Chain A
Amino acid sequence: MTFVLRRLGFFVVTLWAAITLNFLIPRLMPGNAAVAMMARYRGRVNPDALHALEIAFGVNNHQSLLSAYFSYLGNIGRGRFGTSLTFFPDTVSHQVLQALPWTLGLVGVTTILAFFLGTLIGLVSAWRRGGVLDGVLPPIFVITSAFPYFWLALLAIWLFAIKLGWLPQNGGYDYTTTVAWSWTFVGDVIRHSILPAFTILVTSIGGWILTMRNNVIGVLSEDYVRMARAKGLHPWRIMWNYAGRNAILPNLTGFAMSLGFVVSGAILVEFVFNYPGVGWMLLQAVENQDYALMQALFLLIVVAVLFAILVADAATAMLDPRARDVR
């Protein structure tokens, strides 16, 4: 229980740091991008909303920095992220919530898939160390993990969409289909997500394979594995229950570290594919100098990552009794 509480405390600190960064960045950056943005809002939103934006970006500072900061925290706490310029007059929160399911679906599914596939390949290649699988897959995926996400995405579009014409080039769904929970629509969404998902999978799986492989190699020299062998247990059982279960723990912790990397890649992938998710929207906001939307999206990404890490932590606590008591 203390483990979970400590982690929760850490997340509160991280979230606070992210919000504070969000508050400070417009004030620290040179130039007056924010002032220019405010000029575009004037006369379009009501005075109340304008004031909230002024607090968020430090324009027209009648307030001291500190009181502006607390007003900002209050606004964030009540979920007021302001009005979006790009999708005027819609609010930022509403827009963000529309983009969220796309990214959660794409990045969530591919990350989980990459984690399980990568862990499995890592386990097997360490188990059959020096074998064919071990000699081929880990080095290949180490190299693919150095590929720029967006470039692989371009390559995939060129090969599979333009040259071969198998899959759609971009977008989250075909705009001629009606948006509904029908088989046609769902199938269409899946067809559109294959290429982006493939890109993310190929570039992110290498890390999992390598960590898992290294962990298993470490665990295999432990005495309890030797003991299990001596008892004559079935090799499969040793691989799964003895080596695998212990070696996966650092990989779960590593989940926290690589998630940020995956998210950054996903932003670029969404951009290349015009996939209507959070990353694409973030870059739209950048292009339109829509700072309110941009900062809300950044916070959303932080929260999503934190939540995913919390899930990984819970899994660690379930698998590893030591994590529950110590630390």
Chain B
Amino acid sequence: MSAPAITTPLAPAPAAGSGPTEPQPRTTVGANLLRAVLHNRKAMAGSLLLLFFTVLAIFPGQIAPDDPQAEIYLPGLGPSSHHWFGTTSYGQDVLSQLIWGTRQSLLVAVAAGGLATVVAVLVGVSAAYLGGLADGFLSLVTDVILVIPIFPLVIVIAAYEKNAGLLTLTIVLGALGWSYGARQLRAQALSIRNRDFVDVARVRGERRLYVIVFELLPTMTSLIVASFLGAALYAVLAAAGLQFIGLGDPNAQSWGTMLYWAQNNEALGSGLVYWAIMPGVCVALLGAAFALMNYAFDEISNPALRPLPKLQRR
């Protein structure tokens, strides 16, 4: 995993908030990434899925036909043109619940993934850049957290904090899910820190913080994005799992909670298949969106993994 991040310079463009004038042409990493995403089918599929869910999460009131909690229909209706996925055994519209549930699942994913990524960057990059004893300590902490199974630990924590709300879930998942990303970021930062352009900045007399933020981090963007995607994927699955086993807030409107109620009412056994299956489909699709983008980012950040043109086949 020591592949250099982005090495092909594109059109010269000033870096955002650039301090001193740069002699060499610089690439805006954002434009580079965007171009790479647009040219990668897996990344496109993932982004479109993510866009779809984002729209659902922002405008559930406009899209959903009904109030998700309102018990206004006959219980246990099958799928029809009025209720695409039928109703629950409480008489709620399953489709509306799905649409309203998007917001919380996406929020946990983005917030917990974001938190985990921030910690991962902080720990991984400072370990690599500081070196010595600090590196030894930070790496040890990373490895320990990496090895301790997080999910059982989260279960134990959630068992003390009954009916954990959104905030608790996010903080716990974010605070424990950073180790894998930190390890990869450390490895990459180690391989970059002695490159010429970093040395140049150092010789120029830039402060350490400047070198890290403006020289190291931009070159690591794709790996940072990848570790965000990985952490978000984990957060989606873990949060849904926790809510499914009844460790979340049972009144919350989310996919995991839907599954919890479906399971408690034996939806599968009593023929309310869509109620039990569709929330999982949504979790899987959102997870697949993150996984596909992650897979694509592997290819973007490591050119060797890109699909071969037809001619080069063995």
A contact residues vs B (CB 8 Å cutoff): 10, 13-14, 17-18, 21-22, 25-26, 29-31, 33-34, 128-131, 139, 142-143, 145-152, 154-155, 157-158, 162, 210, 214, 217-218, 221, 250, 256-257, 259-261, 263-265, 267-268, 271, 279, 282-283, 285-287, 289, 291, 294-295, 297-298, 301-302, 305-306, 309
B160 touches A268 (CB 8 A): no
A210 touches B314 (CB 8 A): no
Q: How far is the CB of B167 from chain A (nearest CB, A)?
A: 13
Chain B residue contacts of A282, Cβ below 8 A = 152, 155
**Cα A208 to Cα B93 with chains together (Å):** 40
A146 touches B290 (CB 8 A): yes
Chain B residue contacts of A218, Cβ below 8 A = 304
**Cα A295 to Cα B237 with chains together (Å):** 23
**Cα A131 to Cα B308 with chains together (Å):** 10
Chain A residue contacts of B150, Cβ below 8 A = 260, 264
Contacting residue for A267 out of B1, B155, B287, CB 8 A: B155
Starting from the known contacts A148-B280, A151-B277, A286-B247, 19 additional A-B residue pairs (CB-CB under 8 Å) come to A10-B143, A30-B161, A31-B161, A146-B290, A147-B287, A148-B240, A148-B241, A148-B284, A151-B283, A154-B276, A214-B302, A218-B304, A263-B149, A264-B238, A267-B152, A289-B159, A291-B160, A294-B159, A298-B156
Instruction: Provide the B227-241 mask, 1 if CB < 8 A to any CB of A, else 0.
Output: 000000110011011
Contacting residue for B284 out of A151, A250, A283, CB 8 A: A151
Contacting residue for A25 out of B160, B269, B305, CB 8 A: B160
Instruction: Provide the B284-296 mask, 1 if CB < 8 A to any CB of A, else 0.
Output: 1001101110010
Q: Which residue of B lies closest to A286 (CB)?
A: B159
B244 touches A291 (CB 8 A): no
Contacting residue for B147 out of A33, A162, A309, CB 8 A: A309
Q: How far is the CB of B178 from chain A (nearest CB, A)?
A: 13
A selection of 23 A-B contacts at a CB cut-off of 8 Å is A13-B144, A17-B144, A22-B156, A26-B160, A33-B162, A129-B308, A129-B314, A130-B314, A145-B291, A146-B291, A151-B277, A151-B280, A158-B268, A158-B276, A263-B152, A265-B151, A283-B155, A289-B159, A291-B159, A298-B152, A298-B156, A301-B149, A309-B147
3 residue pairs, one from A and one from B, having the closest CB atoms: A264-B151, A151-B280, A146-B287
Q: Give the interface size bracket for B toward A.
A: 35 or more
Contacting residue for A294 out of B151, B156, B302, B312, CB 8 A: B156
Give chain B interface residues in 37-89, CB to chain A under 8 Å: 42
Chain A residue contacts of B292, Cβ below 8 A = 142-143
Q: How far is the CB of A160 from chain B (nearest CB, A)?
A: 12
A130 touches B313 (CB 8 A): yes
B273 on the A face (CB < 8 A): yes
B241 touches A150 (CB 8 A): yes
A130 touches B159 (CB 8 A): no
Instruction: Provide the B267-285 mask, 1 if CB < 8 A to any CB of A, else 0.
Output: 0110001001101100110
Q: Which residue of A lies closest to B279 (CB)?
A: A151
B147 touches A305 (CB 8 A): yes
Q: Which residue of B lies closest to A210 (CB)?
A: B295
Chain B residue contacts of A210, Cβ below 8 A = 295, 298
B129 on the A face (CB < 8 A): no
**Cα A305 to Cα B148 with chains together (Å):** 8
Chain B residue contacts of A26, Cβ below 8 A = 160
Could you say which of B233, B241, B259 has the most chain A C-beta atoms within 10 Å of its C-beta? B241
Chain A residue contacts of B273, Cβ below 8 A = 158
**Known contacts A139-B42, A154-B280, A256-B147; is-contact A21 B268 (Cβ 8 Å):** no
Q: Which residue of B lies closest to A21 (CB)?
A: B153
B155 touches A25 (CB 8 A): no
Q: How far is the CB of A214 from chain B (nearest CB, A)?
A: 6
Q: Which residue of A lies closest to B281 (CB)?
A: A151
B42 touches A13 (CB 8 A): no
Q: How far is the CB of A220 from chain B (nearest CB, A)?
A: 9
Could you say which of B144, B157, B307 has the most chain A C-beta atoms within 10 Å of its C-beta? B144
**Cα A260 to Cα B144 with chains together (Å):** 12
Q: How far is the CB of B246 from chain A (nearest CB, A)?
A: 8
**Cα A265 to Cα B287 with chains together (Å):** 15
B291 touches A148 (CB 8 A): no
Chain B residue contacts of A301, Cβ below 8 A = 149, 152
B252 on the A face (CB < 8 A): no
B140 on the A face (CB < 8 A): yes
B298 touches A154 (CB 8 A): no
**Cα A34 to Cα B159 with chains together (Å):** 11
A129 touches B259 (CB 8 A): no
Q: Which residue of B lies closest to A302 (CB)?
A: B148
A14 touches B147 (CB 8 A): yes
A31 touches B148 (CB 8 A): no
Q: How far is the CB of A305 from chain B (nearest CB, A)?
A: 6
A268 touches B244 (CB 8 A): yes
Contacting residue for A14 out of B1, B144, B277, B287, CB 8 A: B144
Contacting residue for B241 out of A162, A260, A268, CB 8 A: A268
Q: How far is the CB of B108 from chain A (nearest CB, A)?
A: 13
B297 on the A face (CB < 8 A): no
**Cα A47 to Cα B312 with chains together (Å):** 76
Q: How far is the CB of B105 from chain A (nearest CB, A)?
A: 11
Chain A residue contacts of B161, Cβ below 8 A = 29-31
**Cα A130 to Cα B305 with chains together (Å):** 11
A264 touches B149 (CB 8 A): yes
B245 on the A face (CB < 8 A): yes
Q: How far is the CB of B240 from chain A (nearest CB, A)?
A: 5
